[in-house]
Amino acid sequence: MDTGSNTATRTEDFGTLGDGTAVHRWTLERAGTRVRVLTYGGVVQSVEVPDRDGSRTGVALGLPDLASYLKYTGPYFGALVGRYANRIGGAAFELDGRTCHLTRNEGRNHVHGGALGFDKRVWDARETADGVELSLVSADGEEGFPGRLEVSVAYTLDEGGALRIAYRATTDAPTVLNLTNHTYWNLAGADSGSALGQRLRIAAGRITPADAESLPTGELRPVDGTRFDFRESRPVPGEYDHNYVLDEGTSGPAAELYDEASGRVLTVTTTEPGLQLYTADHFDGEPFGPCAGIALETQHFPDSPNRPEFPSTVLRPGQEYVSTTVYGFSAR
């Protein structure tokens, strides 16, 4: 249906969970961009944008049906991740003198919200002027996190066809929160094979180096003279799963991905202080091969609840969590 703006929006059934819960798919279309979002996991199932010749192709890795999303949960394809994106060491943190113990779902650690994170929940949905807003309530103690959390995430398309994801949340008790979207991008096309070689620029002069468990050491290490330096656009090689400390006060995008063959350009603008670059080297061919997509996850830093020197992820009653990331699309 036409929402009264320039964004065309429609919804349809996308299957049913084993307990009878219905899942729906929302399609948003504007200025040459078509985006499909699921109420299951807040998943961005597809993003279709034109190349330099006007040919529109899907550039986000997605799965064809609900059964596939229930089967392939590990990669978090396009999912809305929370309550805490990335890792919390030892699956525990201290807040106001209280130790909070979380679900361990990666060895001894907690990752991406736990066993039943936001990526596996069915969200309520309502139509908005330029897209769809998803919402849910996360109960006090869910996956070990304190506080009853009310969350909303709006997916909208602007007049240029950019995808805006706007997160909001409130809590009734002190807690920690770090939300992101886990879309994998391949600007040559979602079914084109490896995304390596596409050119990447990240406005970050430092990273948070990690140990063998992918937990940050606490250091903010300069990228100068290292393989982590993407301050100038260059082809992406493999073997990246690292958090970048975005430069403050940068006027341009936090990141830009460019496919020379198609001319497609993806820009990422965010209010978040970090960006996780993940090249998906460990994909095993089912359903996608190694490095089939590049994840650019805007976020706070990993293990921030245990790292007081990092930007805080604490949310308290009376405060509102607000975060926005915009994915812009063009061709040259």
Residue 138: strand, helix, or coil: strand
* Contact criterion met (CB below 8 Å) for 155 and 28: yes
How far apart are alpha carbons 253 and 267 in whole angstroms?
6
CA 67 – CA 83 distance, rounded (Å): 24
Task: Quote the Cα angle for 215-216-218, to 5°.
Answer: 145
d(CA 153, CA 321): 11
Pairwise CA distance, residues 136 & 206, whole Å: 35
The helix/strand/coil state of 238 is coil
Out of 182, 242, 256, 300, pick the active-site residue: 182
Six-digit token string for 211: 């140990």
Q: Is 182 a catalytic residue?
A: yes
Q: Under CATH, which number does the domain 8-331 receive?
A: 2.70.98.10
Q: Is 79 helix (H, G, I), strand (E, B) or coil?
A: coil
Give 66-115 pLDDT, tens digit per residue.
999 999 999 999 999 999 999 999 999 999 999 999 999 999 999 999 99
Residue segments in the chain with a per-residue pLDDT below the cut of 70: 1-5
The pLDDT of residue 250: 79
Q: Which of 142, 256, 297, 300 is catalytic?
A: 297
pLDDT at 36: 98
CB neighbourhood size of 187 (10 A): 28
Has 94 been annotated as catalytic? no
What pLDDT does 3 receive?
A: 41
Contacts of 251 (CB under 8 A, 6+ apart): none
**What pLDDT score does 5 carry?**
62
The pLDDT assigned to 84 comes to: 98
Q: What angle do CA 250, 256, 257 make, to 5 degrees?
A: 170
Q: What angle do CA 252, 319, 158 make, to 5 degrees?
A: 35
Sign of CA dihedral 25, 168, 32, 294: negative
Fill in the DSSP letter of residue 143: G
The distance of Cα 85 from the centroid of its chain, to the nearest Å, equals 8
Residue tagged 């939300």 (tokens): 179
Q: Hey, how many other C-beta atoms are within 10 angstroms of the C-beta on 239? A: 11
Which pLDDT score is estimated for 2?
42
